[in-house]
DNA sequence: TTTGTCATTGGCAGCGCTGCCATTCTCGGT
DNA sequence: ACCGAGAATGGCAGCGCTGCCAATGACAAA
């Protein structure tokens, strides 16, 4: 009885050990259909004695739908997606669903490949970020008979379900807020604007709003890489070196903004009188900074939860705008 | 041909459409065994035309081992586990493995339940955090014929594979560092010490080292909740209110330390002359703070990568100590 | 006792694929 | 023209479970 390479216990073995039929064991274990108390006891004893663990692979194949939910997310470094997963996974686990995931690195081609390989597991649903997918991705998703949830965006046309908030509105309101506070020489420090299309939407809508006000974006510093505190600090440094007279800077997210904040602290730049800072996401740490970060708080965990709930409830196709909250903070 | 509730295309249908046998289709798609060029062409055409997506559930059931790797991690909020997942998932995806995960919230009972439900998917391996598991968890893992990898710790007895670093050594070296720098009135601000057993090991080893030096821990503030920047700030506030003459504080990790740092900034406490701060993890943001955070950098992504690699290589049971790096920083 | 009802239970055909084995086809060598 | 080796291919029995249906048993009513 070596532990490696032993074949695992099967339902049939349990049935034999308990002296009942296979279907009976199945019924008892799934608590589905009827069986007597003593039968239940006999089965459970056998299960315990043999250390039986049901094989869900076989179970899924035999019954119709799988209890897998596939997440195809851009990044794990970005806390945003960890939040979404966290929100969703609790609900999923409570309903005996399993989360499967893969990381695209913001690459649509990779997303396509990963969706294909996820679909091979016949998941109950695929959860993606945003609306921008390759044609083939969309085609595959439509052809499959599984649900699709697009998260964190509502500016576009949904495939099936969508849960998020308007990045365009966020960009606009950020600009309006800064304008209302009297800032006019406004810069931008951002990341990965082509690939992170949600950040791109905020950016363009931010710029449009500024332009409409007659005070277009004064300068910008955009990086190809993923967002990070480090890039934020470096970006603000470069931006100010080039355009020292800015009075406010909009960052692509809170991580970047924190980097900018650190830069100001290090250089003795007084916030917000000398320079205002505005972020996006509303991470918890923003509230704890010596000066609370002015930002937009997005309901990421709630988005994950709702996505999971809609799937569990087999909801009809819809787009849910969860909105967001502008945090006035002390940095702008 | 409605898109919902249509039954998906099967291998048999592809075979019929291509005018070949099922096994041939299977061989072509898996590029396994021999087949002629024109057969391949016919099959691929049929696949394309029908939009066939192989069913890995069936494939896994039919063949022996699955290509699933199960992660049962304590938390997703903690960037540490996101790093581990990131490290592992790249390697896994390159080898056509799928990552499945579930979150325990640092609860051993929950871990037990989740391991059981993971095992039902007959994964190739289960990846856990640390060595502390319930007896039943261990028993199940041993009884299953899948690999187990315990991550982020090497202080204890491994089940099978383990990849990590010594938390005891980290605690000790942190204490030694502070002592070497001349600090003597040292406090601790921590989280969840019973449940996060790795943090607990650092803590106790830190305390032991201080005591051995004749300067035991002066005071401490420990929270039941998960670590966060907010708790770090609050914790330091309370700690100093009670014991104002501390000259250094050891935090359970960098998030907590950042909170402490913010508190000092807000209160005008000069770092490190008035109060020194030391963290754990070596998050990137520590390097970008106005004063680089003194901390210990752990190779989390590398641990994830190695874990994945060992599984792919079907390595024999072993414990790999990846070590860590003490960052001298400017805060202590 | 007889009959009907309903809770229990077992048997067995798949779910879609892979692995094994048998069969057929090719083609160089004789 | 014939043979043998190996390439190419098809057939089919499972993998372990679930869903359906038929069979059995128990018990109250007639």
Q: What is the pLDDT of residues B76-122, one digit of tens each?
A: 888 999 999 999 998 998 898 999 989 999 999 999 999 999 999 99
Of A57, A288, A289, nearest to B60 by CB-CB distance is A57
Mean pLDDT of chain A: 94
Distance B40 CA to C27 C1' (A): 21
Q: Is B259 on the interface with A (CB under 8 A)?
A: yes
Are B171 and B326 in contact by the 8 Å Cβ rule? The answer is no
Structure tokens given for A226: 């993923």
- Residue appearing with tokens 């019924």: A27
Distance of residue A320 Cα from the nearest chain B Cα, in angstroms: 21
Which residues lie closer than 8 Å to A50 by C-beta, 6 or more apart?
A9, A13, A14, A17
Residue B4 pLDDT:
38
Chain A residue numbers touching B50 (CB-CB < 8 A): none
Distance of residue B287 Cα from the nearest chain A Cα, in angstroms: 8
Q: Of the candidates A198, A160, A207, A181, which has an alpha carbon nearest to the alpha carbon of residue A298?
A: A198
Structure tokens given for B175: 């204490």
pLDDT band per the 50, 70, 90 thresholds, residue B47:
very high
Which residues lie closer than 8 Å to B33 by C-beta, 6 or more apart?
B27
Helices (H) and strands (E) in chain B, counts: 13, 12
From CA A105, how far away is CA A101, in angstroms rounded? 13
Nearest CA in chain A to B256: A285
Residue A5 pLDDT:
44
Does B129 have pLDDT greater than 70? yes
Going from the N-terminus, what domains does chain B have, and what CATH number goes with each? 11-54 (1.10.260.40), 68-165+300-322 (3.40.50.2300), 167-297 (3.40.50.2300)
Does A1 have pLDDT greater than 80? no
Per-residue pLDDT, averaged over B58-75, amounts to: 92
- Residue appearing with tokens 């970060």: A293
Residue A6 pLDDT:
56
Structure tokens given for A295: 């930002």
Per-residue pLDDT, averaged over B119-145, amounts to: 94
How many C-beta atoms lie closer than 10 Å to residue B30's C-beta? Answer: 11
pLDDT band per the 50, 70, 90 thresholds, residue A182:
very high
Residue B32 Cα distances to A330, B25, B27, B40, B80, angstroms: 63, 10, 5, 12, 39
Percent of chain A with pLDDT over 70: 98
Q: Is A151 on the interface with B (CB under 8 A)?
A: no
pLDDT band per the 50, 70, 90 thresholds, residue B13:
very high
Residue A66 pLDDT:
86
| Segments in chain A forming alpha helices (H) | 11-18, 22-30, 37-50, 56-62, 79-94, 108-119, 135-143, 167-180, 197-212, 229-242, 254-267, 285-288, 300-312
B68-73 and A276-278 beta bridge pairing: unpaired
Of A54, A77, A143, nearest to B82 by CB-CB distance is A77
Distance B27 CA to C29 C1' (A): 31
Which residues lie closer than 8 Å to A290 by C-beta, 6 or more apart?
B262, B265, B266
Per-residue pLDDT, averaged over B240-267, amounts to: 98
Instruction: Tell me how many degrees the CA angle B70-B73-B77 measures, rounded to the nearest 5.
Output: 130
Q: What phi, psi does A91 have (nearest 5°)? A: -60, -45
Residue A2 pLDDT:
31
Report CB contact under 8 Å: B122, A60: no
Considering only the C-alpha atoms of chain A, give the largest distance between any 2 of them, rounded to a whole number of Å.
84
Residue B6 pLDDT:
57
Residue B3 pLDDT:
35
From CA B81, how far away is CA A310, in angstroms rounded? 27
Distance of residue A230 Cα from the nearest chain B Cα, in angstroms: 6
Percent of chain B with pLDDT over 70: 98
Chain B residue numbers touching A100 (CB-CB < 8 A): 68, 98-101
B125-129 and B98-103 beta bridge pairing: unpaired
What is the enclosing helix (H) or strand (E) of A129? strand A125-129
Q: Is A93 on the interface with B (CB under 8 A)?
A: yes
pLDDT band per the 50, 70, 90 thresholds, residue B64:
confident
Per-residue pLDDT, averaged over A251-256, amounts to: 98
Nucleotide nearest the Cα atom of B8 (by C1') = C16
Per-residue pLDDT, averaged over A58-81, amounts to: 92
* DSSP 8-state code for residue A105: T
* DSSP 8-state code for residue A292: P
Whether omega before B272 lies within 30 degrees of 0, making that bond cis, reads yes
Residue B114 Cα distances to A161, B237, B322, angstroms: 28, 37, 27
* DSSP 8-state code for residue B123: -
């Amino acid at each position: 009885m070596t532990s490696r390479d032993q074949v695992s216990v099967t339902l049939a073995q349990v049935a034999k050990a308990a002296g009942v039929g296979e279907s009976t064991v199945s019924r008892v274990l799934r608590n589905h259909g009827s069986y007597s108390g003593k039968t239940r006891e006999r089965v459970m004893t056998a299960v315990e004695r043999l250390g039986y663990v049901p094989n869900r692979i076989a179970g899924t194949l035999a019954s119709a739908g799988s209890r897998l939910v596939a997440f195809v997310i851009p990044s794990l470094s970005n806390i945003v997606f960890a939040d979404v997963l966290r929100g969703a996974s609790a609900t999923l686990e409570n309903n005996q669903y399993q989360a499967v995931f893969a990381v695209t690195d913001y690459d649509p081609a990779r997303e396509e490949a990963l969706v294909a390989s996820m679909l091979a597991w016949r998941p109950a649903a695929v959860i993606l970020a945003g609306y921008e997918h390759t044609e083939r991705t969309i085609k595959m998703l439509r052809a499959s008979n599984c649900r699709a949830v697009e998260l964190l965006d509502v500016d576009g046309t949904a495939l099936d379900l969508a849960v998020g908030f308007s990045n365009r509105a966020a960009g606009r309101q950020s600009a309006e807020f800064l304008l209302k506070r009297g800032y006019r020489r406004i810069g931008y420090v951002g990341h990965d604007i082509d690939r992170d299309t949600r950040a791109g939407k905020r950016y363009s809508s931010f710029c449009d709003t500024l332009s409409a006000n007659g005070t277009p974006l004064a300068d910008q510093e955009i990086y190809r890489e993923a967002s990070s505190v480090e890039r934020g600090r470096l970006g603000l440094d470069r931006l100010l070196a080039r355009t020292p007279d800015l009075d406010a800077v909009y960052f692509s997210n809170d991580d970047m903004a924190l980097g900018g904040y650190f830069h100001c602290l290090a250089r003795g730049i007084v916030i917000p009188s000398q320079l205002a800072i505005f972020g996006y996401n509303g991470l918890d740490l923003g509230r704890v900074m010596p000066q609370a970060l002015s930002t937009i708080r997005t309901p990421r965990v709630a988005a994950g939860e709702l996505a999971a709930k809609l799937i569990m409830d087999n909801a009809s196709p819809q787009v849910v705008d969860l909105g967001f909250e502008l945090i006035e903070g002390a940095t702008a």
